[in-house]
Amino acid sequence: MPPHRPIDYPDAKPDVRAVFDDIKRTRQIEDVNNFWKYLAHDPATLKRTWESIKEIMAPGALDARTKEMVYLAVSVTNGCAYCIASHGAAARKAGMSEAMFGELMAVVGMANETNRLANGYRVPIDPGFEK
């Protein structure tokens, strides 16, 4: 059995098209990314994932740029190549400068390092953090 292939708009069923239309309208783009064209194989997951992302990534207490940078930080930590490319592009579109990217990577790298130092030295939580 072959791996999945993208489902493009002309081949999509009405429920998938409705989601694609909403993505395009919300993001003001002409076509959806591969991520959505692959999720289209499971219309329930496509719809739920899009609606969750639309709600979560809308500016709120945090602005859109910060949210995309956090998304990128997680994707870099997990080593998801697709997500690094897509959210790297999205973060830049939302205003992440080259200097911001450099500092973001520095923080992500350092956090991954000190997470392991804390593990290895088995450091107990300071009572002061809990007040």
- Termini Cα distance of the chain: 56
Q: How many whole angstroms separate alpha carbon 96 and alpha carbon 65? A: 7
Task: Work out how close the CB of 110 gets to a second copy at its nearest, in angstroms, rounded to a whole number.
Answer: 5
- The answer to whether 27 contacts a second copy (rule: CB under 8 A) is no
Task: Work out how close the CB of 7 gets to a second copy at its nearest, in angstroms, rounded to a whole number.
Answer: 11
- The answer to whether 26 contacts a second copy (rule: CB under 8 A) is no
Q: Where does residue 83 rank: exposed (0-12), middle (13-18), buried (19+ CB within 10 A)?
A: middle
- The answer to whether 28 contacts a second copy (rule: CB under 8 A) is no
Q: Which of residues 71-90 bind a second copy (CB under 8 A)?
A: 71-89
Count of positions on this chain that bind a second copy (CB under 8 A): 81
**Block residue for tokens 């990128």:** 72
Name the residue nearer to a second copy (CB basis): 17 or 47: 47
**Block residue for tokens 């989601």:** 19
Q: How many whole angstroms separate alpha carbon 46 and alpha carbon 40? A: 6
- The answer to whether 34 contacts a second copy (rule: CB under 8 A) is yes
Among 17, 27, 35, 94, binds a second copy (CB under 8 A): 35
Interface segment toward a second copy; rule CB under 8 A; list 10-18, 20-28, 106-114: 106-114
* Residue 10 backbone class (left: φ over 0; alpha: ψ -120 to 50; beta: rest): alpha
